[in-house]
Chain A
């Protein structure tokens, strides 16, 4: 089975794109990263309010996912409002735990604990990017890729 992680968006609680990581993206975006970040955030914001209204029961979980014919989008939000969005292929299992580990082991360690990393702006830290890449590439979903 071939599994793939396509890309990852990190947004802060105000909707600013804090980080964009790409591993296997076959279709290049038609707009620049900043514009695309706004589009993705706007969509997720609407999607979340849509979910809350349409749900037959009370939602207590801060994650959801959707799938199309080609990919699966996984969303997880920390209690502080940092949003992680990871696109994977359809056969990948739920990556909610992976997103939580990224938050805990990479975001908190190399962004929150880094005093020269300003909050609410794009993360330019190379150490963060490197650690994130290492974690994603060591995850089961990435390593089980055969091609």
Chain B
């Protein structure tokens, strides 16, 4: 039904002054795995940033950096189980084993997204500053093993950022299209103040339709 190569994971808009004013997760892959462990565990967990993170002992799809989501079906939040018990303490007790643990990549909170969105701004600026060639723009494409980030900076300084599958082609056109939607549904909205977070239903709806069209029929029809 759905071609993975067309996956666009998220869209961000960063304002001229560097603040993130819009974020939308379109098609975010869910990475989770559950496994039964005996005592002692061959994984090392550590509390980082209010999350129990795997720091050593990668195995069976459980990677370093993943978070402990639940123990025997009980959710773990902020290092604590639902009954308030400390999860690390629970796991250090051999009597609680065998235990079934679920690990996965956690979705970013809005705060974390704001932080990351704003972090892109100086990266973009430094990339242009350390350029070995004169008159370089900032980062337009950032490519890693698992995704590709495309950034379009408009003449007015607004940045449109999309995170998608590395194999997806023609992302520049899609970003231009999103810019068009922004001009039509955000800038023409009398209730929208510049530089403020975008809360325009028409923009959200049209963006969603655009991304779904691309997934269904490809970029050539946009």
Residues of A within 8 A of B (CB): 6-7, 24-27, 29, 36, 39-40, 42-43, 46-47, 50-61, 63-71, 73, 87, 89
Give which listed residue, B66, B123, B130, contacts A36 with CB less than 8 A: B130
Residues of A near B108 (CB, < 8 A) are 53-54
Residues of B near A60 (CB, < 8 A) are 63, 145
Contacts A54-B149, A61-B145: A70 and B131 contacting too (C-beta < 8 A)? yes
- B126 contacts A50, C-beta separation under 8 Å: no
Residues of A near B123 (CB, < 8 A) are 43, 46-47, 50
Residues of B near A68 (CB, < 8 A) are 127-128, 131, 136-140
Give which listed residue, B116, B132, B138, B140, contacts A25 with CB less than 8 A: B132
Contacts A43-B127, A69-B140, A73-B127: A57 and B132 contacting too (C-beta < 8 A)? no
Q: Which residue of the partner chain A has the closest CB to B133?
A: A70
Q: Which residue of the partner chain B has the closest CB to A43?
A: B126
- A57 contacts B126, C-beta separation under 8 Å: no
Q: Which residue of the partner chain A has the closest CB to B139?
A: A66
Residues of A near B141 (CB, < 8 A) are 66-67
Residues of B within 8 A of A (CB): 9-10, 28-29, 31, 63, 65-66, 105, 108, 112, 116, 119-120, 122-123, 126-147, 149, 163
Contacts A29-B130, A50-B119: A55 and B146 contacting too (C-beta < 8 A)? yes
Measured CA separation A81–B29 after assembly (Å):
30
Measured CA separation A23–B209 after assembly (Å):
48
* Closest Cβ–Cβ distance, residue A46 to chain B (whole Å): 6
Q: Which residue of the partner chain A has the closest CB to B29?
A: A56
Task: Name, among A60, A61, A67, the residue most crowded by chain B CB atoms within 10 Å (CB to CB).
Answer: A67
- B132 contacts A66, C-beta separation under 8 Å: no
Residues of A near B139 (CB, < 8 A) are 66-68
Contacts A46-B123, A73-B127: A58 and B137 contacting too (C-beta < 8 A)? no
- A71 contacts B147, C-beta separation under 8 Å: no
Q: Which residue of the partner chain B has the closest CB to A29?
A: B130
* Closest Cβ–Cβ distance, residue B116 to chain A (whole Å): 6
Measured CA separation A39–B129 after assembly (Å):
10
- B130 contacts A39, C-beta separation under 8 Å: yes
Residues of A near B143 (CB, < 8 A) are 64-67
- B127 contacts A66, C-beta separation under 8 Å: yes
Give which listed residue, A25, A46, A70, contacts B135 with CB less than 8 A: A70
Task: Name, among A36, A64, A66, A67, the residue most crowded by chain B CB atoms within 10 Å (CB to CB).
Answer: A66
Give which listed residue, B112, B127, B134, B144, contacts A64 with CB less than 8 A: B144
Measured CA separation A91–B144 after assembly (Å):
18
Residues of A near B128 (CB, < 8 A) are 68
Give which listed residue, B31, B126, B133, contacts A58 with CB less than 8 A: B31
* Closest Cβ–Cβ distance, residue B168 to chain A (whole Å): 13
What are 28 A-B pairs with beta-carbon distances under 8 A?
Answer: A6-B133, A27-B134, A36-B130, A40-B130, A46-B122, A46-B123, A47-B123, A50-B116, A50-B120, A53-B108, A54-B147, A55-B146, A56-B28, A56-B29, A56-B105, A57-B147, A58-B31, A59-B145, A61-B145, A64-B145, A65-B142, A66-B139, A67-B140, A69-B140, A70-B133, A71-B132, A71-B133, A71-B136
Give which listed residue, A24, A25, A43, A51, contacts B144 with CB less than 8 A: A51
Residues of A near B66 (CB, < 8 A) are 58
Give which listed residue, B10, B132, B147, contacts A27 with CB less than 8 A: B132
* Closest Cβ–Cβ distance, residue A85 to chain B (whole Å): 10
